[in-house]
Structure 1
Amino acid sequence: MNRLHINPSHELNFVIVSHGLTSRVFLMKWFKWSVEQFEGLNNPGNSEIRVMELGQGGDYSLAIHHTEEELATWGLSPEMIADQKWRANAHKGEWKEDCKWYFGDFFDHMADSDKECETEATEEREEEEEEEGKRVNLLTSSEYSNEPELYNGQCC
């Protein structure tokens, strides 16, 4: 994460001062928690701090600075606590295989290449054309037919 284009050997600290909802949303987005996991979180108390610290493997974790009991009090489930402990030591290459909250589980249905996108678009067009051929127009005009006109399935 070098969004600020700084020398990685320099330490960098951020302090985010926020109310409970915003801090919970931030944590949810950062750690890719589900809505159900987010809803289980408790707002921090007045002047309560939550520290995300950079772990040995290059990812941030709440479990480096805080105890399991604190994390449980905040509403983290046992799985979320285990994930935080894992993040404290995990290396970036292990993330996708070991953590169910990473992109692979959410975006498996997405195309991997332009060729795949083109193939999917062609298949969708063919399906639409096939569906168009199967459609039957239930509304007829009395000018072109001897049968009465139909409106919403009712004859007038």
Structure 2
Amino acid sequence: MLKTKVKCAGFLESLWRDIDMNRLQCDASDDLNLIIVSHGLASRVFLMKWFKWTVEQFEYLNNFGNAEFRVIQLGFGGEYSLAIHHSDEELQEWGLSLEMIADQKWRAQATKGDWNENCPWYLDAFFDKLADSDDNVEGDCDFDGK
């Protein structure tokens, strides 16, 4: 899986670069639609990287069936989601947890202003939601290192 993840990461970086540099569409007023044809593992890794899913979440995903597809569609707030085109039942059949489905629904409806405060995947995995304190606790260092 690691080798596939690295290849998908490189593909995503290249894809974003091509989109940002407008290499994929001749007329900027046209909507950009991309079709990615792949096999099950690479498709699941692509979804994992795109939606920032954990390895544990990835492991519950089912491979695509023959000629099966997923549509990632741009939501109203500028975030892509599986929940715009697909039903909750489809998402559950594919192995998405209730938390992942809720995230997909949020992505479909959220506005960019909501991202910083209410986004379920925005920094929550890295930082605790603790109240800030201006008081120095005994033993804390000041900015000058004292």
Equivalent of 1:76 in 96, 99, 102? 96
User: In the superposition, relative to structure 1, how do residues 71 and 9 fare at CA in structure 2: closer, same or farther (>3 Å)?
Assistant: same
Partner SS, residue 20 of structure 2: coil
Using the size of structure 2 for normalisation, the TM-score is: 0.67
Residue in 2 that maps onto 1:37: 57
Show structure 2 runs of 5+ residues with no match. 1-15, 128-140
Q: Find the structure with the greater CA-based Rg.
A: 1
Post-superposition offset of 1:107: 4.9
Corresponding position: 1:96 with 2:116: yes
Partner of 2:20: 3
Per-residue Cα deviation, 1:15-35 (whole angstroms, up to 9, x for no partner): 000001111111111111111
Counterpart of 1:112?
none
TM-fit CA distance, 1:101: 1.8
Give 4+ residue runs of structure 1 displaced > 6 Å after superposition.
none
Tell me, in whole angstroms, the C-alpha distance in 2 between the residues paired with 1:15 and 1:41: 20
Separation (CA, whole Å) in 1 of partners of 2:28 and 2:88? 30
Query: What amino acid is aligned across from residue 79 of structure 1 in structure 2?
Result: E
The CA deviation at 1:92 is 1.8
- Residue 106 of structure 1: how far off its partner (Å): 4.4
Tell me the TM-score normalized by structure 1.
0.63
Determine which of 86, 89, 94 is the counterpart of 2:106.
Answer: 86
What are the superposed Cα offsets for residues 107-144 of structure 1, whole Å, 9 maximum, x if unpaired?
55xxxxxxxxxx9xxx8xxxxxxxxxxxxxxxxxxxxx
* Corresponding residue of 1:66: 86
Offset of residue 4 of structure 1: 3.5
Return the offset for 1:99: 2.5
Shift of 1:96: 3.0
1:86 and 1:63 map into 2 onto residues whose CA distance is: 9
Residue 40 (structure 2) pairs with residue 16 (structure 1): no
Contact 2:103 2:120 in 1 (8 A): no
Compute the RMSD of aligned alpha carbons: 2.4
**Number of residue pairs aligned between Structure 1 and Structure 2:** 111
Alpha-carbon distance in 1 for matches of 2:66, 2:91: 17
Corresponding residue for 1:54?
74
AA matched with 2:121: W
The alpha carbon displacement at 1:37 in A equals 0.6
Q: Once the two structures are aligned, what percentage of the paired residues are identical?
A: 65
